[in-house]
Structure formats: C-alpha cells, structure tokens
Structure 1
Amino acid sequence: MSRMTMIQAIRSGMDNAMEKDDNVVVFGEDVGFFGGVFRCTQGLQEKYGRQRCFDAPISESGIVGAAIGMAAYGIRPCVEIQFADYMYPAYDQITQEASRIRYRSANDFTVPIVVRMPTGGGIFGGQTHSQSPEALFAHVSGIKTVIPSNPYDAKGLLISAIEDEDPVMFLEPKRLYNGPFDGHHDRPVTPWSKHEFGEVPDDYYTVPLGKAAVRREGADVTVLVYGTMVYVAEAAAEEAGVDAEIIDLRTILPLDLEAIEESVRKTGRCVIVHEATKTCGFGAELMAVVAESCFYHLEAPIIRVTGYDTPYPHAHEWEYFPGPKRVGDALKKVMEAA
C-alpha cells in the first residue's frame, strides 16, 4: 500500500494495466514526453516506449477516432482529452461510432476504449476548462460513464474501465487531483480525508463498474452524489446535524439501482447533489428513478442541489458550486416536510 493522490493513483492504474496487457496503449495531447498537463501519465513513455505511450496532434476527434479503429482491431486505447470541455469535437465519434459498433456489427466488433478527461471546476480555469458534461454521455446508449471520488476508487475503476469491452468515459474531478478538499470550507487539506481513501495498493486490483458505495450510513435521508460532491455532502450533513446516508454512485452508467432503492426505501427522503447545471442534469434522471421505484416510501419531495443554469461563472465559481450551506438547507427542508 502507498499513500497516493488521485493523480498518482490514476497513473498507477495505467501502469498496472499496461504491464499486464501489451495491447493497452496510452495517447493524447502532451501525454508522452511531457506526462500530461496534470502529470497523470508522467513516466509511462519512459517505461513503455513511444509505441505504447505517445503524443497526439491537437485533434480530439482524431484522437478518439483513431482509438476506435485501434480498438476494433484488438488494441485497448486509454486516451486523454486534456479537459472535459475539449471533448465536443470528439462527441460525434463517441456517440455516433464508439457507442454503436457492438450493436451495428451484431457483436462481431467491440470498442474497448477509455476516454479520460478532467472534469469540473475549482482551479479557476474559466469557462472552457471547468464544465461538467457527464449528463451528455449518460444519455447515450452503448457507453459507460465513471466519476471517481477518491484515489482508491480512481485506480480500481480505471483498470476495470480499461478491461471493459465497451467504451468508457472516465471523468476525473480535478478539484480532487492533488488531495481532498475540506468540504466545510472548499479548500484543499492534507492528508487524504478521515476515511484514509489515500491508501492505495501498488499492485493490480479492480473496482467493479456499476456498484455504488455508502460513504456515510444514516437513517433520515439519502444523499445521492458522485465525485467532488461526496465531500460537500459529508460536510453539509455534519453542519446540519442530519443523520444522512451518503451514496457515492461512482458510475452513473451503469447505475446501481439496487443501492439507491435500498437506501431511499430505508430513509424515506432523498437529496441529490451535483456540480453540473440543474436543467437536464443527471440529477433529473436520478429523481425519475427514485420517483418510479420508491414513490410509496417517500415522506418528502425529492430535492436537487446543483450548479446554476448559467454559463460557467469564472469570477464566481465558488458561489456557483453547491456548498455545505445550500446542501444543508436542502437536508433540513426534507426533514421538516410533513
């Protein structure tokens, strides 16, 4: 076991996967010699050579398109889109090609690609470096979407994604890259949280896709979260004095319906938190799922706490994010409902 940041855990996951399978390759903009803009791939080219870890031109469509072709012929590409905001030129390749090849070929071809991309705000990156587009992927059949909240999960989920036969969008919350942040004050802290999520095995292991994790057990209200918002929800529950059960979804597609239903039927209340905008955000799908499967168990309306329906506000990003006060107010509101 080693104590790792999420960056180090992601790098370790790619290293283990490349060591285990010669067909795993890593490429993208600046990921080779430079080691990636966040250094997630640092040292991989030196260890595995330029045939297996290499730089690509500044063409997101070209990166993903090449990966699809390679995957159809037996390679397992793990490619990096430098920021999630840059994935839009590749969205056609992802949604029109990668997602459909297994179905269109009657299972003759699969597309085992992973598209890694830093997501979310918190580094003052501005409008084109801070978006949270996970709902755009979750809408598309044939691809899987993963959003880890800690180093242990990041490594295990990444290895599972690389070994999966279908395309996986792997969104990495960059606010968590170099350590957790204090959910009470939205600033980095060291070491990695009271849960010791920074303890990561050096060797190969997997975390299954489609399985949520209970980060905090509780009896009064279920909080559905993923990524950075796990820590906000923890802080909010502590500040509000609410016995909240916090469910870290980890993957939003496939979605762990069993874990969601079990928790909501136990607590009778549900709050959903995510950083992306509210309208048509993934929280809307979660509300529908809870309403469809747990309606007769609910004792209060479901509440969403999200980013605002505005272009990403560079100068006011900390006001834009759901924080402990907004989430805490929602928790108190559902508890006060008759």
Structure 2
Amino acid sequence: MNWIATKIKNRVGFITLNSEKTLNSLSLPMIEELQTVLTDWKTSDEIVCIFLQGAGEKAFCAGGDVRKLYDAIIDQRNIDHTKVPKDCYDFFSKEYQVDFDIHTYPKPVIVWGHGIVMGGGIGLMVGASHRIVTEKSKLAMPEITIGLYPDVGGTWFLNKMPSAYGIYLGLTGARLDGADCLFLGLADYYVESSSKQNIINALEQTSWKGDPYKIVSGILNSASEDHTVPESQAAGHQYFIRQFEGVESVEQFKNILTHHPDKDEWINNGIKSFEAGSPSSAHIIFRQLQQGRNLSLEEVFHSELNLSCQCCLHPDFAEGVRALLVDKDLSPKWNPATWDDITEEWIDSYFKLILKSGKLKEESEKL
C-alpha cells in the first residue's frame, strides 16, 4: 500500500495522506514515505510549493496510530520492561523529524486542515507556512485522556498562544473549530470547503514569477476574503481563560477550573476531559509547558522525544490506549490512580534523560 499519494502539476507538489479508513492516522510507514518526499522535493527544481491534504472528506489527520505503539509496548514489557520499544522510538523520532522539517521547510507548505485534525495531524499542520481551516475543521490535542501529553511541538505552539490558552488546551484537550484556530494562531486562512478546487486551480495556473510565498498568500487571501468567519467560542471565553494566567501549580489550575461559578457547555466539556484524564499526564503537561517556555524549536522536539520515550516506560500511556482503542471499555485504571497519589519523585521520573543530548536529526541513541 502507498501510504501517501503524490503528483506534481505546474511545479506544485501535491501530497495526500492516503489512509481514509483510519482517518489518515500516521503510521511509521506513512511518516517514512512523507519524509522521503519532503526531502526529495526540498531541493528539486520541479517543486516550488507543496500542498498537503488528507484523503477523503472526514479528516486531514486524526493523529498517530497509537494502537500499534500499544502493541509494541506490551510486547517489550514481556521481554524487558526497562527498555523503550524500538518501534516506539522510531515512530516518535521520525514523526518529530518530519514536523521539524515542515517548520523549517525552504518552500511554501500549504496544509488543507479540513475535518478532523488531532495530535499528530496538528504536528504536521502547525509548522506549515500557509494553514487553511474550513467550516468543518475540528482540532484538538486530547492526549491527557490517553495518558500522554501534547507532543509534536506542543511545547512550542501552546506556549505561543495568547493569555493562558496554551495551558488550558493542553490540560483539557478542548475541541477547536476553524474560527478558534484563527484566533489562537493555529491557522492563517478560513475558507468554505467548497473553495478547495478554486484554490487548487489558481495554484495550477499561476506563473510563479516572483516570491512564491507572496504568490501563495495572494491566492489564499483572495480565496478567503469573501468568507465570513464565525464567532470563536475560544475568543468568547477570554474572561475565563485569563484566570489561569500565572498559575504556579497544576493543583491551582484544577481549583480554578472546577470552582468557576459560571459554567457553560464549553467549560464543562473541558472539566470533563480534565477530570477523566490521567493524573500523571496533568502533572507532566504542566511541567512540560513551564520548563519549555524558552526552548528553541529543535530543543523542544528533542525534549519531547525523551518525554515520549518515558511515557512508553510508564504505565498510563499503554493503559489509556487500551481503554480507548483495545478493550474500548473507556475505563482506564490510571497508575497512580488519584491526584493524592502523585509524588514529585514520580513526575521527576518522566523527565529523567534517557537520550543523548544533541540535535534531533543527529540523534542516534539505540534504545
């Protein structure tokens, strides 16, 4: 199976994540194929611009294929539970390399962020130069609900959001629509999904004489100028989010969240995800974002690679995937089970270095 499909027309390189049945979830083979194409096209005179999309109408990319990571963790536990499974290390390291390459790509990268865009899908989208959302875009980083944390550069882009939206989204996995993404800086253009072919036609017919970034921006500005952006629920809750500015502990965050007197559906959904999520994840997310505020992009991906490997050694990630995707009982048995059981030493253990320091692209530690 070809996990991605490609074509070139008028020097525009089209890449389609080609796994519609799995909502274009990222598998290791898909990541490897995507990396190969991005690398080949980086210096190719045949390519002046990239258009990245998902197969079908339901999703750009619903995240990583965590079910396969679960299988690798369980297999490794039966052999040696102190070692990070090689498949997990390969997946995370190669996924983050693709994300980093998109952030630093030397040509315009357009992402059609239509439908479901979660976890690893946001990782592919957020670093692109031209990010498009539609009336059907649904974005989230719900990793707290599976015992993980917002990776794929979440340390970077959540910390760049206004007010305390970053910490709030990280700890609640709150769902966002296209208008929210514009407000929070996760997208650059809002268009109706029916405009897609017009955008593609314009890209396929332009002369590419001049700065390709300005040409793409002109095409997308023209496509979006007639569309009215709906009201953003996230923007409408600024008064609520401001309360979390300057919080000094995850316990303080929890207290403000659960005791807010004027709860509505948007707030209650955040409370529900937060309270159902892994207590360990809540603590590592808070520390991740606090410690990562001043890291460079490359340092962010390296620190996240270490933290993701640690999550494979700790119990909650595999348990969260089991409850959601394997047994589907939706009743994860978190370990430690409650907030009161969490110790500073336990959270410290997630951040213990198990990788050599150095540049992400040069990381060669064998685990």
TM-score (structure 1 length as normaliser): 0.27
Higher helix share: 2
Higher strand share: 1
TM-score (structure 2 length as normaliser): 0.25
